[in-house]
Amino acid sequence: MPMPWTYRHASKEWRAILDDLKERMGLVSDNSAYTAMDGVLQVFRRRLTAQQGLAFASLLPSIPRAIFVANWQIETPPLAFTDRQSLTDEVKRVRRDHNLTPDNAIEATAWSLRRYMNSRDFERALTQMPQGAVSFWHVDVDDPKEIEQRIF
């Protein structure tokens, strides 16, 4: 079996994800984009069991996958999903002193990551997650091609 593209070209893929994030969120630095995405992934992760989280992580591109599982305290019981504004506020509290995360961070992260993932597998996995997972990763687009997988 050949090495998966996400491992062989992790740096190239990560650069593209960061560029997408910066553009979608109107940010100028890689650090700000990383902080926003990390916050989104942490907030989502807090609502999953370890088994659910690992199933989700296995679908992510390699570097976001590593970010998703980094420093995860799996013994902490999962939280319930709440409304988008409350979740966004929680994202903004991650690294509060170094956080320029905009209000569209969850949507922008979902939009960006979907472009580097298999959408069928992703949608199927989300249906196995707690109620609220599907809406957390939902993105409204005029043209579905916007969020089609860019790299295979």
Domains: count for the chain: 1
Whether the predicted pLDDT of 65 surpasses 80:
yes
pLDDT of residue 152: 54
Tokens of 67: 């970010």
Q: Is residue 58 part of a domain?
A: yes
Q: What's the pLDDT at 150? A: 74
Using pLDDT thresholds of 50, 70 and 90, give the confidence band for residue 124: very high
- What is the pLDDT of the chain when averaged over all its residues? 92
How many CB atoms lie under 10 A from the CB of residue 112? Answer: 26
pLDDT of residue 7: 75
Q: Is it the case that residue 96 has pLDDT exceeding 70?
A: yes
Poorest-pLDDT segment among 48-57, 106-115, 137-146? 137-146
- pLDDT mean over 89-97: 89
pLDDT at residue 90, rounded to an integer: 96
Reduce the DSSP state of residue 126 to 3 states and report it: helix
User: How far is CA 112 from its chain centroid?
Assistant: 8
150 located within any domain = no
For residue 101, the domain's CATH number is: 1.10.490.110
Mean predicted confidence (pLDDT) in 67-82? 95
Q: What domain range is 51 assigned to? A: 9-71+82-139
Which is higher by pLDDT, 4 or 80? 80
Q: Are 101 and 24 in contact (CB under 8 A)?
A: no
* Residue 60 within a domain: yes
Report whether 81 contacts 87 (CB < 8 A): yes
Quick one: CA dihedral 132, 136, 139, 140, positive or negative? positive
Q: Which residue has the higher pLDDT, 46 or 151?
A: 46
**Residue 49 CB neighbours (<10 A):** 13
Report if residue 107 sits inside a domain: yes
Is residue 25 a part of any domain in this protein?
Answer: yes
Its pTM stands at 0.92
When pLDDT is averaged across residues 4-28 and rounded to a whole number, the result is 90
Residue at 2 is within a domain: no
| Residue at 147 is within a domain | no
Q: What is the rounded CA–CA span in Å between residue 92 and residue 95?
A: 8
Whole-number pLDDT of residue 8? 77
